[in-house]
């Protein structure tokens, strides 16, 4: 930890659980309170805004139409990085900012969730060794201006590359460069940040859609909200609405009379394959004709991505097509000795990047920078950006809220605000064996839980102590245990089966059946927590299984429109139970 840890902001240990009762209480609070800030959007940017505002002492509410992190923030490349390819676009300030944030997240803010990952950058010859060496050297230099916890890059000979990456086609082995970045479970990070905001008093409500904005004297003064679980509609008053909806930015601004879109949606897809299908001892990054291809270690799997193409269809249903899947397979197969087939693909997921509209005709050339705008009095929008820089984006957005309210706010405190689970992380790391012994839980299970929850692992161990059967696995082939289902409902705001299988765990992309075989077990455990009857259980299972079938059908379609049509047959689970 660096010296900034000495000035950390402390958050309470109680009151940050996103339980069903918390949600009910938060909705009642929304009905009665005129908030300083109402944040619309429960991705990492919106959650970051809520956390920043709450840490400055403002009264904050956040509403999200789906689950927390249900959009782009659970469908990323799982990287916390500076963006090596942005150096080629001369976006030096963006890379420097992102690398500074990467270092901060690794050390101060979320060392339990953000971890080092090494990448091999295969070279095509001497000229590229010089060119790429200069670029990655600059990348390291920008990272070290304020100190970096990661090692410097290294040049590797052909012999060392063969040892590090036996999967690489020997004909293409002309040496490589090894460098380091960081990886993250994006959905878990966002949920952890949401709980941290709740611990500071923010009201965090998922499954609640904004249907309109209200005005007083030509100033935005609140929003009309529909609870998608109960069907109830109500009005929330506030001094400023923050629009942090990513690719939905234009829809919210339209409620205030704005018609010009500044955000383009770019679709990126990723493939998940078993770890034993690629004989690599580190991640790998490859240059393509339009972008880069990442091969990223992710537990017992590799994540391979990504594509970069404009998406103009339903934003809630970005679909991976057969062409997308084949493109990624062809690209990776062009450099490995033992080709991957479609049968090797365990999971596929698609997400939309919110890119700022620019002069280029291709989304790969649009800016990953962000923009904070003030489209109407009482409305502040944050657009664009990347996951790694969410904290900076949030701080600038709340600064703009202060300007909107003609109010002098204290400076952002989130640089020194660790997320829940981070306080005492180093100390507990050394005590895991004792913790496992005391809880009569295996060290492997304790490590698994610790890697996902940090020092909040005790919340789950207490559930197991009171109900030992919760130690059983959800799926025999994966490390997730049943206690994590109960914990997700009691502490993390999970309301539906998909919230568990897609975001609180990764069963939806880590199993061939996409988690469908685990749906009945998940439904039974959720039912006892949420009071579901047998009819509701069966409807939840049916919806999830239908969703899986629709996704698999979309992967056999040749174009976006046909793939989206397959996905739409699943319908929406939220809003269908009243």
Each residue's pLDDT tens digit, 398-443: 999 999 999 999 999 999 999 999 999 999 999 999 999 999 999 9
Which residues share a beta bridge with 37?
A: 60, 240
Ordered DSSP codes for 332-397: HHTTBSS---GGGEEEEEEEEEEEE--S-SSGGGSB--EEEEEEETTEEEEEE--GGGHHHHHHHH
DSSP 152: P
What are the DSSP E strand ranges found in 123-175?
A: 154-156
Task: Provide the pLDDT confidence category of residue 4 given band limits of 50, 70 and 90.
Answer: very low
CATH 3.50.50.60: does it fit domain 3-72+188-262+367-416?
A: yes
| Model confidence, pTM | 0.94
Say which residue, 384 or 43, is predicted with more confidence: 43
- pLDDT at site 471: 97
C-alpha 40, offset from chain centre: 17
* Confidence band for 1, pLDDT divided at 50, 70 and 90: very low
Closest-CA residue to 486 (of 505, 511, 514, 507): 505
Is 19 in contact with 491 (CB distance < 8 Å)?
yes
| Residue 366 confidence (pLDDT) | 47
B/e letters for 498-530, b = 16+ CB within 10 Å, e = fewer, are bbbbbbbbbbbbbbeebbbebbbbbbebbbebb
Per-residue pLDDT tens digits for 249-307: 999 999 999 887 778 999 999 999 999 999 999 999 988 776 789 999 999 999 999 99
What is the residue extent of each domain of the chain?
3-72+188-262+367-416, 114-183+264-363, 425-568
What pLDDT is attached to residue 49?
98
Least confident range from 209-213, 233-237, 526-530, 569-573: namely 569-573
**pLDDT at residue 454 greater than cutoff 80:** yes
> Got the DSSP string for 385-439?
--GGGHHHHHHHHHHHHHHHTT--PPPP-GGG-PPTT-TTHHHHHTTHHHHHHHH
Which architecture characterizes domain 114-183+264-363 according to CATH? 2-Layer Sandwich (3.30)
pLDDT of residue 53: 98
Residue 367 has pLDDT above 70, yes or no: no
Residue 368 pLDDT level (bands cut at 50, 70, 90)? low
Instruction: Give the pLDDT of residue 290.
Output: 67
Question: Which pair of structure tokens corresponds to residue 566?
Answer: 């397959």
Give residue for tokens 């900034």: 4
pLDDT of residue 12: 44
pLDDT in tens, 534-559: 999 999 999 999 999 999 999 999 99
What confidence score (pLDDT) does residue 14 get?
52
Is the pLDDT score of 373 beyond 90? yes
Under 8 Å between Cβ of 194 and 419: no
> CATH number of 425-568: 1.10.8, 2.60.40, 1.10.287, 1.10.3470?
1.10.8
- What is the per-residue pLDDT for 5? 38
Residue-level pLDDT at 573: 83
Query: Percent of the chain, pLDDT > 70?
Result: 95
């Amino acid at each position: 930890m660096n010296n900034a840890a000495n000035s950390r902001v402390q958050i309470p240990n109680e009151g940050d659980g996103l339980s069903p009762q918390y949600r009910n209480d938060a909705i009642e609070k929304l009905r009665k309170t005129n908030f300083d800030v109402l944040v619309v959007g429960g991705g990492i940017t919106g959650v970051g805004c809520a956390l920043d505002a709450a840490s400055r002492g403002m009264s904050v509410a956040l509403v999200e139409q789906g689950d927390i992190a249900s959009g782009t923030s659970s469908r990323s490349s799982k990287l916390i990085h500076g963006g090596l390819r942005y150096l080629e676009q001369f976006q030096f300030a963006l890379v420097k900012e992102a690398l500074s944030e990467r270092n901060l997240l690794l050390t101060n803010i979320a060392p339990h969730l953000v971890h080092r990952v090494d990448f091999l950058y295969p070279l095509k010859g001497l000229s590229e060794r010089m060119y790429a060496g200069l670029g990655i050297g600059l990348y390291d230099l920008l990272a070290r201006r304020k100190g970096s916890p990661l090692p410097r890059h290294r040049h590797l000979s052909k012999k060392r590359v063969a040892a590090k990456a036996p999967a690489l086609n020997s004909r293409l082995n002309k040496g490589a460069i090894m460098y380091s970045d960081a990886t993250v479970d994006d959905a878990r990070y966002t949920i952890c940040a949401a709980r941290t905001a709740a611990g500071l008093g923010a009201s965090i409500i998922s499954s609640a859609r904004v249907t309109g904005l209200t005005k007083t004297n030509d100033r935005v003064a609140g929003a009309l909200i529909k609870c998608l679980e109960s069907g109830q509609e109500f009005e929330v008053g506030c001094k400023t609405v923050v629009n942090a909806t990513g690719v939905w930015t234009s829809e919210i601004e339209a409620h205030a009379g704005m018609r010009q879109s500044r955000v383009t949606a770019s679709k990126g897809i990723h493939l998940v394959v078993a770890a034993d299908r690629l004989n690599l001892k580190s991640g790998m990054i490859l240059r393509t004709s339009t972008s880069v291809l990442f091969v990223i270690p992710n537990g017992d799997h590799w994540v391979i991505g990504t594509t970069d193409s404009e998406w103009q269809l339903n934003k809630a249903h970005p679909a991976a097509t057969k062409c997308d899947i084949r493109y990624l397979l062809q690209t990776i197969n062009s450099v490995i000795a033992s080709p991957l087939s479609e049968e090797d693909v365990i999971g596929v997921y698609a997400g939309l990047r919110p890119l700022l509209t620019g002069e280029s005709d291709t989304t790969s050339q649009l800016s990953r920078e962000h923009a904070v705008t003030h489209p109407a009095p009482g409305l502040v929008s944050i657009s664009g950006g990347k996951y790694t820089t969410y904290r900076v984006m949030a701080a600038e957005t709340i600064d703009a809220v202060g300007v909107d309210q003609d109010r002098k706010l204290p400076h952002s405190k989130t640089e020194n605000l660790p997320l829940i689970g981070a306080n005492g992380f180093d100390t507990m790391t050394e005590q895991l064996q004792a913790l496992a012994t005391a809880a009569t839980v295996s060290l492997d299970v304790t490590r698994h839980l610790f890697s996902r929850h940090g020092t909040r692992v005790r919340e789950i161990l207490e559930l197991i102590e009171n109900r030992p059967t919760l130690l059983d696995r959800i799926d025999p082939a994966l490390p997730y245990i049943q206690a994590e289902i109960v914990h997700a409902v009691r502490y993390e705001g999970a309301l539906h089966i998909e919230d568990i299988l897609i975001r609180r765990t990764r069963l939806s992309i880590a199993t061939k059946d996409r988690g469908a075989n685990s749906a009945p077990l998940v439904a039974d455990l959720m039912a006892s927590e949420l009071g579901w009857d047998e009819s509701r259980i069966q409807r939840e299972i049916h919806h999830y299984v239908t969703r899986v079938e629709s996704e698999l059908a979309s992967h056999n379609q040749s174009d976006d429109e046909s793939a989206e049509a397959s996905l739409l047959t699943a319908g929406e689970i939220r809003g269908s139970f009243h």
